[in-house]
Structure 1
Amino acid sequence: MARSARAVRWRAFSDRVMGGVSEAHAAFAEVQGQPALRLTGRVSLENNGGFVQMARPLGDLDALAFGGLQLRVCGAPGTYFVHLRTADTRAPWQYYGAPLPVSEAWADVFLPWSAFTAVSLSAPLDVRELQRIGLVAAKTAFDADVAISRLELVP
């Protein structure tokens, strides 16, 4: 992943924004010989918490011409997701999420738009106005460690 001005816009945060105690860190690193953006941290379920995330704004990206996302990822075992936000996700707890399978070796993972389900809202995913993407470790207590070396829209 090129360390461009756009790549630097990723930001790490955790459930601490709502009183949790999870810890999140995002940094550029070389992982198994590939430059990558790496999310590490401890996911804790204490104080009604349970997530760490790195996310970046997309503006109002129109992805209608594409069939989904392809990511090259690797990491430690855990429960990982990709979250998307659109104009319909007004509250912080609203998003469209898809499970992200992660293995210790680099692997390419395709997530079609149909893999994303609405959480805390009824509107279907409208990919004509994607506003933010997040890579999330959540729902179980564990030490998160996941890296992404490529993220792209694919037909």
Structure 2
Amino acid sequence: MTRRTLLASAAASGLASSLPAAETSASLALHWGYVADTVMGGVSTGRLTRARLSGTEAARLTGEVSTANNGGFIQIAADLPEGVDAAAWSGIEIDVIGNGEIYDLRLRTTALTRPWQSYRLSFEAPSAWGTLRASWDSFAAHRTSAPFDPAELRRIGVLAIGREFRADIAVGAVRLWR
């Protein structure tokens, strides 16, 4: 199986061309959970399942995103394992496959106190397994003036958000890289 590496940069705010990975990386053992806009009255529906896709074990998010009733998201999210210091790394990479739609990769730190605050990066989920590699500086702060500090990283989320569409995205491995 071939796997493309999709690079994210602050300048591009998205994906660049495919390049081989050469940096050292460390895999994270994540326990994904599912959250939807129903926690605030929205009506989006979805689910998290474990699946084997093209030979890769993955956490798969599927469902329908609805903007009705002030909603508009479904997500899978995982807390960083205890003792992981992301400050020793240059960024994060995730192996993804999906339906060609645009999704968000979101990071939360201990400095963020409101649920709507995050550091965000949008990306297109490829129809074949690919690796999204994002440096810490490629994430944009949302509704916070706190600068991103990787030493405070505590949560990673993948969201289908903002418009009505059918979500289908799977996440294989998640790694820190340098």
Cα deviation for residue 37 of structure 1 reads 1.0
Query: Matched residues in 2 for 1:115 and 1:76: separation?
Result: 23
Cα deviation for residue 114 of structure 1 reads 1.0
1:11 maps to what in 2?
A: 33
Q: Alignment partner for residue 40 of structure 1, among 57, 62, 70? A: 62
- Conserved 8 A contact 1:60-1:130: no
TM-score (norm. length: structure 2): 0.79
Cα deviation for residue 28 of structure 1 reads 0.7
Q: Give the paired residue count.
A: 149
Q: Alignment partner for residue 149 of structure 2, among 126, 133, 143? A: 126
TM-score (norm. length: structure 1): 0.91
- Conserved 8 A contact 1:60-1:129: no
Cα deviation for residue 134 of structure 1 reads 0.6
Larger radius of gyration: 2
- Conserved 8 A contact 2:111-2:152: no
Q: Alignment partner for residue 65 of structure 1, among 59, 65, 88? A: 88
1:107 maps to 2:126: no
Q: Alignment partner for residue 30 of structure 1, among 21, 45, 52? A: 52
Query: Matched residues in 2 for 1:31 and 1:45: separation?
Result: 29
1:73-101 C-alpha deviation (Å, 9 max, x unpaired): 11012220111111121111111111122
| Counterpart amino acid of residue 56 in structure 1 | A
Cα deviation for residue 60 of structure 1 reads 6.5
Identity of aligned residues (%): 40
- Conserved 8 A contact 2:107-2:120: yes
Query: Matched residues in 2 for 1:126 and 1:93: separation?
Result: 18
- Conserved 8 A contact 1:15-1:51: yes
Q: Which runs of 4+ in 1 moved over 3 A?
A: none
Cα deviation for residue 108 of structure 1 reads 1.2
1:24-76 C-alpha deviation (Å, 9 max, x unpaired): 21111011222111111111111111111011111474211111111111101
2:13 maps to what in 1?
A: none
Structure 2 SS opposite 1:69: strand
